[in-house]
Amino acid sequence: MKIIRTTDYDDMSRKAANVISAQVILKPDCVLGLATGSTPIGTYRQLAEWNAKGDCDFSQVSTYNLDEYRGLTHDDPQSYHYFMRTNFFDHINIDLANTHVPDGSNPDAAAACAEYDRLVHDAGYPDLQLLGIGRNGHIGFNEPDDHFSKGTHCVDLTESTIEANSRLFESADQVPRQAYTMGVQTIMYARSILVIANGADKADAVWAMCYGPVTPQVPASILQLHTNCTVIADEAALARCPQE
Ligand code: F6R
């Protein structure tokens, strides 16, 4: 794992955008795995700025998002489909037909997950997978468990994730209780992985991801076994990690 320390959120976002932009320049028709949440918003904003300047062309890129709430339609403002449109896709020259998010509006969980696995497999898996990390060490919606998950599947969200995500809803009651998420195995198939994290509330999870034992109780810890994983995090999130 390569760890890059940044001074603050903006520095983290710019450096992460640089890595993604380099991937797109090196392979214009690359496959990107993308995440939602607060952490990547600055990265997406920076990439959109460079796209507007003509410095980062997304016209041939395809994207596969990690996860989606079960039961939300694509145009629900709380859905990850909507998040990706408003925070990224609507601001870059990507072909929307090349963007993919699990279909939370399909109530048939088995069918929705199998279809998403087929799409990601047929795309050849991401060249670069962008990840955030939950305070409990989750990646995608892969919560602490007694085994690492494999393909896309339907999960029950933990109370800590419901509480963390409730800031984006009117109340915790409105947070969907289930989601479809790429599995840990699928995430590990990406040829390179970029984890971004900021803020003191991520310090324990970032330490456990980078230096703790590899255990499904901290899903992100498996990334220690990936051959090309970079962590870009600010000082606060790296507070427990040794300076290297
Ligand atoms: C979202 C996702 C989640 C988030 C994680 C951190 O697609 O996969 O694992 O990355 O919950 O969320 P934020 O960035 O809001 O702290």
Ligand 1 environment, Cβ below 6 A: 35-39, 66-67, 132-134, 138-140
> What is the reported pTM?
0.97
> Residue 92's pLDDT band (boundaries 50, 70, 90)?
very high
At residue 5, the 3 state secondary structure works out as strand
- Per the annotation, the verdict on 136 as an active-site residue is yes
Taking the chain, what is the end-to-end CA distance rounded to the nearest angstrom?
12
> Residue 29's pLDDT band (boundaries 50, 70, 90)?
very high
Has residue 9 got a pLDDT over 80? yes
Q: Which residues pair with 153 in a beta bridge?
A: 181
- Give the mean model confidence (pLDDT) for residues 6-10: 98
- Give the mean model confidence (pLDDT) for residues 117-146: 97
What was the pLDDT predicted at 168?
82
What was the pLDDT predicted at 240?
96
pLDDT tens-digit map of 45-81? 999 999 999 999 999 999 999 999 999 999 999 999 9
CA distance 138 to 20: 22
Q: Residue 166: phi, psi to the nearest 5?
A: -65, -20
At residue 17, the 3 state secondary structure works out as helix
Asked if residue 209 lies in contact with residue 221, where contact means CB atoms within 8 angstroms, the answer is yes
Which residues are CB-neighbours of 63 under 8 A, at least 6 positions away?
A: 31, 32, 33, 34, 84, 94, 98, 99, 100
Instruction: Find the 36 Cα to ligand 1 centroid distance in Å.
Output: 6
Give me the amino acid identity at 44: Y
What was the pLDDT predicted at 165?
86
Asked if residue 233 lies in contact with residue 131, where contact means CB atoms within 8 angstroms, the answer is no
User: How many other CB atoms are there within 10 angstroms of residue 65's CB atom?
Assistant: 23
CA distance 13 to 42: 5
pLDDT tens-digit map of 158-203? 888 898 888 888 888 889 999 999 999 999 999 999 999 999 999 9
Q: Residue 154: phi, psi to the nearest 5?
A: -95, 130
- Per the annotation, the verdict on 67 as an active-site residue is yes
Q: What radius of gyration, in Å, describes the C-alpha atoms of the chain?
A: 17
